[in-house]
A and B are shown apart, each in its own frame.
Chain A
Amino acid sequence: MSVNKLKYFFAVDTRYVLKKLMILMFPYTHQDWEVRYHRDTPLTPRQDVNAPDLYIPTMAFITYILLAGMALGIQKRFSPEVLGLCASTALVWIIIEVLVMLLSLYLLTVHSDLSTFDLIAYSGYKYVGMIFTVLSGLLFGSDGYYVALVWSSCALMFFIVRSLKMKILPSISSDSMGMGSNAKPQLRLYITVATAVFQPIIIYWLTSHLVR
């Protein structure tokens, strides 16, 4: 958990952020999901659009908290304690999700290079979807909220499955060990799918009380 590792995640520029936000909202046309390496070290987000970063999740988290305060203020339900409660609820859900992911990756001995910060990054990308959902709920009412919820859930599920598939599932190139590992690819698939399915649930949970 060194500062250098953290610096890697914040080495972003405008072009990367714009492209990444586009991919998060519309991942269906993105072709190449491989994270590129350069002599064993992964490329920084500035050079590789598939690399996870922590800038977008952090900014999205803060924006979500501010947006929640604004939404509650519009409905005259605001008070400063509610803001703190909202922030800590969202933070606790991130921590729970990262811990469950770490635990399941450990139990199934998945030898991937997913560090803790990568998992925090991937579970923080859902805040972009949440912001979009809350905004359209505020602007277009209840119908807009549900449409945006469905849209961002599908986009986010697709994004998570495609991104994690490269890292968790074993390479399907050559099946040298066909014996005994038959339960493994299934369980790894279950982890990926469970992570993906968890995203819309938590998006709905954390935003429905803001848009009545």
Chain B
Amino acid sequence: MAFTLYTLIQTTILCTNAIAVLHEERFLSRISRGVDQGVGGFGDDPGVKVQTLNLIRSVRTVMRGG
């Protein structure tokens, strides 16, 4: 499998685009429903799910221009 740098750039752009076009109502709110109502994870480290949702939200904020 011969990768070029162009392939890598293409892959990252497509993945970032995929994260940016996720539909808010149908998908993201269903996943974040059980998560950030409530504790919010102070004291102990936030779990994997909270971290992924934070990451997705920050990527979307940067990509969608706010």
Contacts and interface: CB of A to CB of B under 8 A. Distances in A.
A177 B52 CA distance: 23
Given A88-B3, A93-B3, A107-B55, A177 B44 contact: yes
Given A95-B8, A107-B51, A107-B55, A181 B45 contact: yes
B62 interface: no
A28 interface: no
Contact of B45 (A91, A95, A184): A184
Contacts of A177: 44
Contacts of B51: 106-109
Interface of A is mostly: helix
A89 interface: yes
Interface in A62-113: 85, 88-89, 91-93, 95-96, 106-109
B4 A92 contact: yes
B12 to A, nearest CB: 9
Contacts, number: 37
B21 interface: no
Given A108-B48, A109-B45, A180-B44, A96 B55 contact: no
A106 B44 CA distance: 15
Interface size class of chain A, counting residues whose CB lies under 8 Å from the partner chain:
10 to 19
Nearest to B4: A88
Interface size class of chain B, counting residues whose CB lies under 8 Å from the partner chain:
10 to 19
B5 A91 contact: yes
Contact of B8 (A96, A108, A109, A205): A96
A85 B55 CA distance: 33
Given A107-B51, A109-B51, A181 B44 contact: yes
B46 interface: yes
A92 B3 contact: yes
A92 B8 contact: yes
Contacts of A107: 48, 51-52, 55
B37 interface: no
The 7 residue pairs across chains A and B that have the minimum distance between CB atoms: A92-B3, A109-B45, A107-B51, A89-B3, A92-B8, A88-B4, A85-B2
